[in-house]
């Protein structure tokens, strides 16, 4: 910097000091955000590592295609116990059955409430109903589990007896229905946002052509909102697949391979819980299988979430 010239406008300062300040702030923030990222990486790494350890003991194909799940292995060498079979198929079908029941129940209810809230409800009704619906999402899942095990399941069982159906006291139906109630607010809230994001100009165009409100919703708003609604349904599905507490309490532990909603089934998450609660020998295939199941679950929900978010994002771009 030459000092021999005199300037009337002074722009000379200490850039180095500002640079250091900026750097400190930047690195501090990077540190903060890396805590979460590193934790995720750590979880993934341990999950992967233990999963590999499990597949040292049990063949991958047996796990993925085996039809029998009975993870009891002998704890002591002199113990007479089952050798254990780790076929995940009954768990996966159980998970899918319960999730399907939940979605089957929650999709129409959630979607119709979203349409009602977004298009029909007056401001006052909306101000009351929307928070009430979202309150459902705030109920701890263990309370839902309670509700399922103590009220829904006995009710279904009694109702079934009256019409000559045998419904076991722990059934896929009871768990699925309760889970359905739990994910209604998820579907309705996300779909409501999506429907509201359909531009008013499209509604005006439709009304301006003489369409009724029903025609406008059916022909213009829903088609425009379908991708976003599909995204919200996928997110809800991934939530249902990952849900644990309700199924632990209401669906049972029996790894039945069945499509009958009146029977007890078990899910991937329930088995992880039962495998890891209590004292466990860490090196046994039984314990390690929990990690394999967790890894498997992680992959499924990750894929669902990625697809769902892609769909939702893509839809958002359309109207920006």
Partner 1 sequence: MNSVVMPNELGTTDYQTELIAGKSIIQARDVDVFYGDKQALFGMELDIYENSVTSLIGPSGCGKSTLLRCFNRMNDVISTCRVTGSIELDSQDIHAPEVDVVALRQKVGMVFQKPNPFPKSIYDNIAYGPRIHNMTPSKVELDEVVEKSLKRAGLWEEAKDRLDKPGTGLSGGQQQRLCIARAIAVEPKVILMDEPCSALDPIATAKIEELIDELRQRFTIIIVTHSMQQAARISQHTAFFHMGYLVEFGETGDIFSAPKDERTQNYITGRIG
Q: Does the protein bind partner 1 through residue 204 (CB under 8 A)?
A: yes
Q: How far is the CB of 223 from partner 1 (least distance, A)?
A: 7
Q: What residue spans of 198-221 are helical by DSSP H? A: 200-208, 213-216
Query: Smallest distance from the beta carbon of 198 to partner 1, in angstroms?
Result: 9
Q: Pick between residue 224 and residue 249 the one whose CB is nearest to partner 1.
A: 224
Q: How far is the CB of 30 from partner 1 (least distance, A)?
A: 41
d(CA 44, CA 116) in angstroms, rounded, equals 41
Distance of closest approach, residue 193 Cβ to partner 1, in angstroms? 18
> Count of residues for the chain?
320
**Does the footprint of partner 1 cover residue 212 (CB under 8 A)?**
yes
Return the residues of window 71-130 that contact partner 1 according to CB under 8 A.
122-123
Which stretch in 158-166, 188-196, 214-222, 306-314 sits in contact with partner 1 by CB under 8 A?
214-222
| Site membership for partner 1, residue 194 (CB under 8 A) | no
223 binds partner 1 (CB under 8 A): yes
Query: Which of 35, 120, 97, 115 has its CA nearest to residue 240?
Result: 97
- Residue closer to partner 1, measured from CB, 183 or 195: 195
Min dist. Cβ of residue 117 to partner 1 (A): 15
- Binding partner 1 (rule: CB under 8 A), the pick from 25, 137, 166, 209 is 209
Q: Is 53 helix (H, G, I), strand (E, B) or coil?
A: helix
CB 300 within 8 A of CB 96: no
* Nearest Cα residue to 91 out of 234, 292, 302: 292
Among 190, 224, 247, 249, binds partner 1 (CB under 8 A): 224
By CB under 8 A, which span of 49-57, 179-187, 211-219, 283-291 interacts with partner 1?
211-219
- Least separation in angstroms between residue 206's CB and partner 1 is 7
Long-range contacts (CB closer than 8 Å, 24 or more residues apart) made by 126-135: 130/189, 130/192, 133/184, 133/185, 133/188, 133/189, 134/185, 134/189, 135/185
Using a 10 angstrom Cβ sphere, with 0-12 exposed, 13-18 middle and 19 or more buried, the burial of residue 40 is exposed
Instruction: Name the residue nearer to partner 1 (CB basis): 157 or 203.
Output: 203
Residue with tokens 């779909």: 191
215 makes contact with partner 1 (CB under 8 A): yes
Least distance between partner 1 and beta carbon 202 (Å): 6
Strand pairing partners for 70? 85
**CB of 255 within 8 A of CB of 70?**
yes
Whole-angstrom distance, CA of residue 70 vs CA of residue 84: 5
For 302, the token pair is 């990750």
**Phi, then psi, of 37 in degrees rounded to 5:** -65, -45
Choice between 64 and 202, CB closer to partner 1:
202
Binding of residue 199 to partner 1 (CB under 8 A): yes
Contacts to partner 1 by CB under 8 A: 122-123, 199, 201-212, 215, 219-220, 223-224, 318
């Amino acid at each position: 910097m030459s000092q021999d010239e005199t300037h009337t406008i002074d722009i000379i300062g200490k850039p180095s000091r500002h640079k250091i300040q900026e750097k400190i702030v930047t690195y501090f923030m990077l540190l903060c955000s890396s805590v979460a990222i590193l934790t995720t990486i750590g979880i993934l790494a341990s999950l992967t590592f233990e999963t590999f350890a499990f597949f040292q003991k049990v063949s991958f194909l047996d796990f993925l295609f085996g039809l029998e799940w009975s993870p009891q292995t002998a704890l002591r060498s002199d113990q007479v116990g089952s050798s254990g079979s780790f076929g995940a198929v009954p768990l996966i079908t159980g998970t899918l059955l319960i999730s399907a029941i939940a979605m089957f129940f929650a999709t129409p209810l959630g979607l119709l409430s979203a349409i009602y809230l977004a298009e029909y409800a007056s401001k006052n009704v909306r101000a009351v109903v929307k928070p009430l619906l979202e309150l459902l999402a705030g109920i701890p899942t263990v309370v839902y589990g309670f509700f399922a095990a103590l009220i829904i399941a006995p009710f279904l069982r009694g109702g079934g007896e009256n019409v000559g159906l045998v419904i076991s006291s722990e059934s896929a139906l009871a768990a699925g229905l309760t889970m359905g109630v739990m994910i209604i607010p998820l579907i309705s809230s996300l779909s409501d946002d999506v429907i509201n994001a359909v531009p008013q100009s499209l509604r005006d165009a439709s009304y301006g052509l003489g369409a009724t409100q029903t025609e406008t919703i059916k022909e213009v708003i829903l088609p425009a909102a379908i991708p976003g609604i599909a995204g919200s349904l996928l997110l809800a599905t991934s939530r249902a697949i990952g849900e644990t507490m309700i199924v632990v309490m209401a669906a049972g532990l029996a790894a039945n391979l069945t499509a009958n909603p009146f029977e007890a089934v078990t899910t991937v998450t329930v088995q992880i819980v039962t495998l890891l609660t209590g004292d466990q020998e860490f090196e046994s295939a039984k314990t390690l299988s929990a990690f394999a199941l967790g890894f498997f679950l992680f992959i499924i929900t990750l894929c669902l979430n990625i697809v769902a978010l892609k769909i939702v994002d893509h839809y958002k771009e359309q109207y920006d």
